[in-house]
Amino acid sequence: MKKYGRTYHLPISAGVTSDDKIVSDLSFLSTADEVVFTEKMDGENTTIHAQGCHARSPDSGYHPSRDWVKAFAAGVSPALSADERIVGEYLFARHSVAYESLPSYFLGFAWVVGDVVQGWDDTQDRFIELGIHSVPTLHRGTFDEATIGRVLGQLDFDKQEGFVVRVTTAFSEGDMATHMAKYVRADHVQSEIHWMHAEIVRNRLQR
């Protein structure tokens, strides 16, 4: 079991806090032939592997909201090899954004084999094979100021947290700090009580 790496903030990210890390080298994104922008979902980073699943840290403890994803992972894990990991946002419990029509409580955003984050198209194909819904794609193209502006212009920050951008090709987990980044809305966390210590409020699935 392995912890998925941290996604650094873009320098323009409005939601940067003192604990966050900011991308210092944007050259790999700006010179990439293609990048993909996906919606940054407000959930719990969760990894599904051949032995089951865990939240961001492999030693994460029990929380009642995680019962659903444990059952979901039980149906996916037997199809995974020992070196495969599926990483996504677990959206059962409401955090700061309320979701009213999710396709699933688990939305995948990465397929890792060994220490390589697989290419975006291969990742989507693997999700289909495993019956996993992907986080929504916002835009595919180049990484530049005009594109970032268009993506930001289509977001509703009353209902969406932000975006994640990554190169569409495969890259090493060790290169996450330069090959992907995120933008988070200003004042994203709007409650003084952490969701894990509050009453569980379920997000809603599509009818």
Q: Is there a domain that residue 9 lies in?
A: no
Cα(190)–Cα(133) distance, integer angstroms: 27
Kindly report the CATH number assigned to the domain that includes residue 34.
3.30.470.30
Q: Answer whether 30's CB lies under 8 Å from 144's CB.
A: yes
Q: What tens digit of pLDDT does each residue of 165-200 get? A: 999 999 999 999 999 999 999 975 655 555 555 688
Residue in the structure block whose two tokens are 């919606």: 39
Q: Is there a domain that residue 52 lies in?
A: yes
Residue in the structure block whose two tokens are 């961001």: 56
Please say if the pLDDT value at position 53 is more than 70: yes
At residue 21, what are phi and psi to the nearest 5 degrees? Answer: -105, 145
Q: Is there a domain that residue 155 lies in?
A: yes
Q: Answer whether 43's CB lies under 8 Å from 89's CB.
A: yes
Q: How many domains are there within the chain? A: 1
Q: Is there a domain that residue 33 lies in?
A: yes
Q: Answer whether 139's CB lies under 8 Å from 132's CB.
A: no
- Note the pLDDT of residue 44: 94
The residue type found at 54 is H
- The parent domain of residue 93 ranges over 27-186
Token reading at 103? 């396709």
Query: In whole angstroms, how far apart are CA 64 and each of 73, 99, 198, 201?
Result: 15, 19, 12, 12
Q: Is there a domain that residue 8 lies in?
A: no
Token reading at 121? 């198209």
The number of beta carbons lying within 10 Å of the beta carbon of residue 85 is 21
Q: What tens digit of pLDDT does each residue of 103-146 get? A: 999 999 999 999 999 999 999 999 999 999 999 999 999 999 99
Q: Is there a domain that residue 69 lies in?
A: yes
Q: Answer whether 38's CB lies under 8 Å from 137's CB.
A: yes
At residue 28, what are phi and psi to the nearest 5 degrees? Answer: -70, -35
- Note the pLDDT of residue 188: 56
pLDDT band at 65 (very low <50, low <70, confident <90, very high): confident
Q: Is there a domain that residue 71 lies in?
A: yes
Q: Is there a domain that residue 6 lies in?
A: no
Query: In whole angstroms, how far apart are CA 189 and each of 15, 90, 200?
Result: 9, 17, 16
Q: Alpha carbon 87 to chain centroid distance?
A: 7
